[in-house]
Amino acid sequence: MNKYYAEAFGTFWLVLGGCGSAVLAAGFPEVGIGLLGVALAFGLTVLTMAFAIGHISGCHLNPAVTIGLWVGGRFSAKEVIPYLLSQVFGGVIAGAVLYVIATGQMGFDVAASGFAANGFGEHSPGGYSMTAALVSEVVMTMMFLIVIMGATDSRAPQGFAPIAIGLCLTLIHLISIPVTNTSVNPARSTAVALFVGDWATSQLWLFWVAPIVGAALGALIYKQLLGRQSA
């Protein structure tokens, strides 16, 4: 069971660190960390957890990553559902902790703040369409899986995978926060959407479908085109 606990704790840290930075610190008067700070926070959560629990569970922290690694032949099918449940559970607990902290501020309104939820159309930070959001999430998650599989390949330099993966997630957020608030992770999206309700839960389907499709594509691309041993 250790690996399931590890996935729950790791996803808890990702949501609390990443979404927490967006909700509590991004726009704080005068010392707000802004888009760059939030992007770095998400990358740091993965980097720190990869070193902390990578040797226990592989540090997926993301249903799309788990499914992508299964598609790519790096993960057992029988472990997929337990991993997904552990990740969603850890994320939702982090969402609850963040909710308690955030609502401790006088006048805080979850719906008005957006609570770091992902969205498209009028709920996209930059007003991007559903099509733009779908393409962004598919492509960003596809690239994330290619980096994950490449960095953890037995032929890659050993011990540096967490750094490459954490920096990749930072870059993904720098690109796509204006489009969707960046998901590439259904557990992260679910964790905060449940507390916003309304539009956030009605749009949540996209932030499950697109990352999973993107992860599967990335895994197949790496497996078929990049991961083959040279003759």
Residue boundaries of the structural domains of the chain: 3-225
Query: What is the tens place of the pLDDT at every residue in 194-203?
Result: 999 899 999 9
Query: What is the tens place of the pLDDT at every residue in 28-87?
Result: 777 788 899 999 999 999 999 999 999 999 999 999 999 999 999 999 999 999 999 999
Q: What percent of the chain has pLDDT over 90?
A: 83
Q: How far, in Å, CA of 93 to CA of 19, rounded?
A: 13
- Check whether domain 3-225 has CATH 3.40.50.2300, yes or no: no
Q: How far, in Å, CA of 45 to CA of 189, rounded?
A: 16
Nearest to 112 by CA among 199, 213, 9, 34: 199
Q: What is the mean pLDDT of residues 117-138?
A: 96
Q: Are 64 and 11 in contact (CB under 8 A)?
A: no
Pull the structure tokens for residue 217. Answer: 């594509």
Report residue 229's pLDDT band, with 50, 70 and 90 as the boundaries: low
Pull the structure tokens for residue 228. Answer: 């083959």
Report residue 227's pLDDT band, with 50, 70 and 90 as the boundaries: low
